[in-house]
């Protein structure tokens, strides 16, 4: 259970964040990152995250208890493999800030739509002016004004005036006028 939880949670969150940064980094900075280094970063991360979490399935099936400071000797080998994966994954993450720094400092400039980018790339990179606020919202109306507007929308007179409503009695359904 522990291996599966971490196998899904860590790659899902970490790889999702990295994918978002890699997608939007050229838009944020106006410069392209080093694709070769980014590819290395991805493959090192993918390999080491599997080396980190896959052996934990074997440890769980072998009966290793959780949350203990020391474990039995029979679990040493798979824990060592998992530790090597953890160190490798951590070291691979050092490439990420370097790629971002290199992109900001010396990446080549991107056009409006690098490669086959989507329409959200159609603006300038990075945005030259601040995003303008949307339309101003009106203040909420008082409940009395809201009732008047609702009454007008349903063609009913406001409170205190005569209203024509269909009669609830009879099959003819003829409207009769009454006052409140």
Write out pLDDT tens, residues 35-76: 999 999 999 999 999 999 999 999 888 888 888 888 889 999
Contacts of 163 (CB under 8 A, 6+ apart): 156, 157, 177, 178, 179, 180
pLDDT > 90: percent of the chain:
37
**Radius of gyration for the chain, computed over Cα atoms and rounded to the nearest angstrom:** 32
pTM: 0.63
Six-digit token string for 27: 């838009």
Residue 91 pLDDT more than 80? Answer: yes
Residue 119 pLDDT more than 50? Answer: yes
Residue 169 pLDDT more than 70? Answer: no
Q: Are 48 and 89 in contact (CB under 8 A)?
A: yes
């Amino acid at each position: 259970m522990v291996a599966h939880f971490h196998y899904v949670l860590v790659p899902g969150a970490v790889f999702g964040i990295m994918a978002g940064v890699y997608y939007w980094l050229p838009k944020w900075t106006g410069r392209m990152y080093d694709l070769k280094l980014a590819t290395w970063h991805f493959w090192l991360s993918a390999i080491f995250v599997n080396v980190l979490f896959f052996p934990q399935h074997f440890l769980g099936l072998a009966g290793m208890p959780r949350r203990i400071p020391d474990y039995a000797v029979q679990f040493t080998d798979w824990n060592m493999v998992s530790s090597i994966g953890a160190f490798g994954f951590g070291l691979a993450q050092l490439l990420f800030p370097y790629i971002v720094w290199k992109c900001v400092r010396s990446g080549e400039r991107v056009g409006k739509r690098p490669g086959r980018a989507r329409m959200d790339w159609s603006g300038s990179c990075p945005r030259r002016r601040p995003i303008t606020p949307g339309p101003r919202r009106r203040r909420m109306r008082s409940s009395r004004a809201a009732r008047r507007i609702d009454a007008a929308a349903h063609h009913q007179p406001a409170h205190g005036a005569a209203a024509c409503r269909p009669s609830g009695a009879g099959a003819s359904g003829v409207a009769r006028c009454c006052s409140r």
